[in-house]
Amino acid sequence: MIEYNEKSGLFHLSSDTFSYVLAVRDGRLLNLYYGDPLTPGTDLSYLLSSYYQVSSFEQIEQNLPLELPSVGTGWYGDPSVQAIGPDGNNITKLRFADYKILPHKEPLEGLPSVGVGSARLEKDETLEILLKDELTGLQAILSYTVLDSALARSMRLVNAGSDELLLTHMASAGFSLPSRRFEVLHLRGAWARERHIVRTPLGQAQVRIQSQRGASGHEENPFIALLAPETTENADPVYGLSLVYSGSFLAEAQVSPFDSTYVSIGLNPMTHQWHLAPGETFQCPEAVLVYSHEGMNGMSQIYHRLYRDHLCRSEWAGKERPILINNWEATYFRFDERKLLSLAKKASSLGIELLVLDDGWFGVRNDDRRSLGDWYVNPEKLPHGLSGIAKKVGELGMKFGLWVEPEMISPDSDLYRAHPDWCLHAPGRSRTEGRHQLILDLSREDVQDYLIRVLTSVFSSADISYVKWDMNRNMTESFSALLPPHLQMETQHRYILGLYRVLNTLTEAFPHILFESCSGGGGRFDPGMLYFMPQTWTSDDSDAVERLKIQYGTSLVYPASAMGAHVSAVPNHQIGRVTSMNMRADVAIGGNFGFELDLDRLSDQDLATAKAYVQKLKDLRRLTARGTFTRLISPFETNYTAWQFADEKRVLLCYYRILAEPNPIPHRVYLKGLEPSALYQIDEADASSLPESFRSVFTGSALMEAGVPMIWDKTGDFVSRTIVFHKVN
Ligand code: DGJ
């Protein structure tokens, strides 16, 4: 709900879970409150005078809860918006001019956003606040939409003046909280260990979480949260900011000398500048703010619902995903049609529904040194082409999927020989290769058009039901051969806009294809990519134990339906660990379930276990994709991990022990969010390996308050158990 109180001049944005109150004072837009819901009509204008009880003008500016701080006004922190005029001065003084309340949320030009298109929400009233800099003519239009329990915020910058402006700071959202007693929560990592949960006290410091790589990156996710030191998974406040963008970003928390904290998220000023000619508009990406007083799980569940149901536009967003087998870790580049069909045959006998042909099917790509860009079939590997293999896979009762890495170009490729200037590169500098490849310059329309053409032809050349869209290196020379020198700092953002145009065109042209994004595993696991593709390959690290942390961390913001999770071979190819088929499958249950190993090398026993899991997953996948996901025990804190999925009828409890313990302490796991008086019974199949006493009926309150004793039927390291509870009344 959005209310404007004429008398107090306050804007009150609210839902069942939060209130967000804005005020205008001396033309400045101030954030008076963000937190638990306030009674409708609450007037907070009494707070205003307190900000002025400091001694000088610049102290006032630093003390005020500015919504959009800028330089040259007495604010000495990092600005959220800054425009440099033709005379070189960067003073940016934006003052309130007007507002309007729109009945609906508008899509963002050229950018993905929540709750538009097919993923529309019923109620999405939008407040637009117009701020103007009278001298330069710069206008900022701040948009706020209440989306269920979240708040979408974005900013449009318009040059209504007569001179060109250089935009150097363009945050998407920021707000101030009257405390410095926060910890910063973010998702830190690297290749093969993405999105580990890190929580650090803010103290009086400035904390920056960022990417400058031209991709959201493995190292940090475009997300930051502030929480109280006492906040747990299930209680106390947390403020999350998540950016719907796939390129370089900056999220920061700044503590003022008056102990307030300004937190913001948006484009990274280190990598993004934009020239705004008179009459032009620049649209900043959207940020999604979530407040919860029900701890981190409370915040995550709001993000999960919103991103699952109102971000992904694909017709696959709400559908059950096929159980797949991917040939990458089974064969790497060494495969031919015969091998793929043997894999498919075995897979089909296990009930697997989709074969994904990964890297190496095109050009002369028999290793990772060449052929990216040459998107035509290698006839030695696939003598009957893509249509031939797809048809034969189809005859086995399975669907066929294909890997592509369209944003890249190998120097050793026909495409590069024909168009050496089509990659990102800087005059006079060598072209830095990563995995022997360069990046196509997607800021160029001719390159975008080429990709649309060539991929349209590949995707229509066979019966392709699924596409894995990979991207395996980050930007180094972020320069474009077509842009003049003064626009080169726009290359990264123009690239992302170009990528979004290509993705938009292709996903609209092939609505039946299930697209999965990937970037050396989870190097671009962000809401921007999820808008086009409803699932992402979570990490190249498929070791079951490492995956506990990766999937647990990823779930802080992203729903399980967005995560690809595969059972791979042992010893694990990334770290050499050996875990049982049960443990690997029990971990993969936490995402879109699949396999990535050579089925021809599995023992009969492992094949039988794999087959049983495929059956089990067909029964459980609706629950894991659409049920409410709750983290129960953290792998970052203990030797155990536990999580649950729950819908109206069932609860799936998954728990894991990493290392064996001598003379073990009996542990319990406490379920969450059940109806206290409802009755639950353990699924027969799961109860058969539990003590007799588990074959009874439990109340929700027992499962939540007294807990479930963790029972292990195996000794040794890396063991797991999953239990389904059926609601019986
Ligand atoms: C990186 C991906 O993350 C892997 O799954 C695989 O597709 C390789 N690229 C192929 O080169």
CB 644 within 8 A of CB 630: yes
**Which pLDDT tens digit goes with each residue over 587-644?**
999 999 999 999 999 999 999 999 999 999 999 999 999 999 999 999 999 999 999 9
Distance of alpha carbon 598 from alpha carbon 331, whole angstroms: 7
CA of 329 to the centre of ligand 1 (A): 9
Mean pLDDT (the chain, rounded): 96
Q: What is the pLDDT of residue 601?
A: 96
Q: Which of 193, 334, 518 to mutate to test the pocket of ligand 1 (most atoms within 8 A of CB)?
A: 518
Q: Which residues line ligand 1 (CB under 6 A)?
A: 328, 358-359, 403, 470, 472, 518, 520-521, 537, 540
Decide if 16 is catalytic: no
CA of 470 to the centre of ligand 1 (A): 7
Q: What is the pLDDT of residue 109?
A: 95
| Ranges 60-64, 562-566, 678-682, 700-704: which has the least confidence | 60-64
CB 336 within 8 A of CB 343: no
Distance of alpha carbon 162 from alpha carbon 556, whole angstroms: 46
Q: What is the pLDDT of residue 535?
A: 98
Instruction: Name the maximum alpha-carbon separation found in the chain.
Output: 82
| Residue where the block lists tokens 């449009």 | 156
CB 351 within 8 A of CB 323: yes
Enter the DSSP assignment of 604: H
Q: Which atom of ligand 1 is nearest to the CA of 540?
A: 3
Q: What is the mean pLDDT of residues 450-469?
A: 98
Decide if 421 is catalytic: no
Specify the residue with its C-alpha closest to ligand 1, atom 9: 520
> Residue 260 is encoded by which pair of tokens?
């307030």
CB 524 within 8 A of CB 562: no
The three-class DSSP label of residue 629 is strand
Q: What is the pLDDT of residue 357?
A: 98
CA of 359 to the centre of ligand 1 (A): 7
Q: Is the pLDDT of residue 51 over 90?
A: no
| Residue where the block lists tokens 């959202």 | 173
Q: What is the pLDDT of residue 386?
A: 98
**Which pLDDT tens digit goes with each residue over 153-166?**
999 999 999 999 99
Beta carbons within 8 Å of 586's beta carbon, 6+ residues apart = 544, 654, 656, 720, 721, 722
The three-class DSSP label of residue 128 is strand
Beta strands in 570-672 (DSSP E): 592-596, 628-633, 640-646, 650-657, 668-669
Q: What is the pLDDT of residue 726?
A: 98
Q: Which of 473, 537, 538 to mutate to test the pocket of ligand 1 (most atoms within 8 A of CB)?
A: 537
Q: Which atom of ligand 1 is nearest to the CA of 537?
A: 3
Q: What is the pLDDT of residue 593?
A: 98
Q: What is the mean pLDDT of residues 491-512?
A: 98
> Residue 728 is encoded by which pair of tokens?
């019986």
Beta carbons within 8 Å of 266's beta carbon, 6+ residues apart = 80, 155, 170, 171, 172, 173, 174, 243, 249, 250, 284, 285, 287
Domains of the chain: 2-310 (2.70.98.60), 640-727 (2.60.40.1180)
CB 28 within 8 A of CB 13: no
Q: Which atom of ligand 1 is nearest to the CA of 368?
A: 11
Q: What is the pLDDT of residue 199?
A: 97
Q: Is the pLDDT of residue 57 over 90?
A: no
Q: Is the pLDDT of residue 54 over 80?
A: no
CA of 521 to the centre of ligand 1 (A): 7
Residue tagged active-site, from 358, 374, 412, 470: 470
**Which pLDDT tens digit goes with each residue over 229-283?**
999 999 999 999 999 999 999 999 999 988 999 999 999 999 999 999 999 999 9
Q: What is the pLDDT of residue 364?
A: 97
CA of 436 to the centre of ligand 1 (A): 14
Residue tagged active-site, from 358, 359, 540, 543: 540
Question: What is the pLDDT confidence band of residue 205, given thresholds at 50, 70 and 90?
Answer: confident
Q: What is the mean pLDDT of residues 414-427?
A: 98
Q: Is the pLDDT of residue 473 over 80?
A: yes
Beta strands in 37-195 (DSSP E): 81-84, 95-102, 126-132, 138-147, 150-159, 165-177, 183-188
Q: Is the pLDDT of residue 487 over 80?
A: yes
> Residue 438 is encoded by which pair of tokens?
């360069």
Q: Which of 361, 467, 470, 529 to mutate to test the pocket of ligand 1 (most atoms within 8 A of CB)?
A: 470
DSSP state string for 366-429? SSTTS-TT--SB-TTT-TTHHHHHHHHHHHTT-EEEEEE-TTEE-SSSHHHHH-GGGB---TTS
Question: What is the pLDDT confidence band of residue 43, given thresholds at 50, 70 and 90?
Answer: very high
CA of 357 to the centre of ligand 1 (A): 11
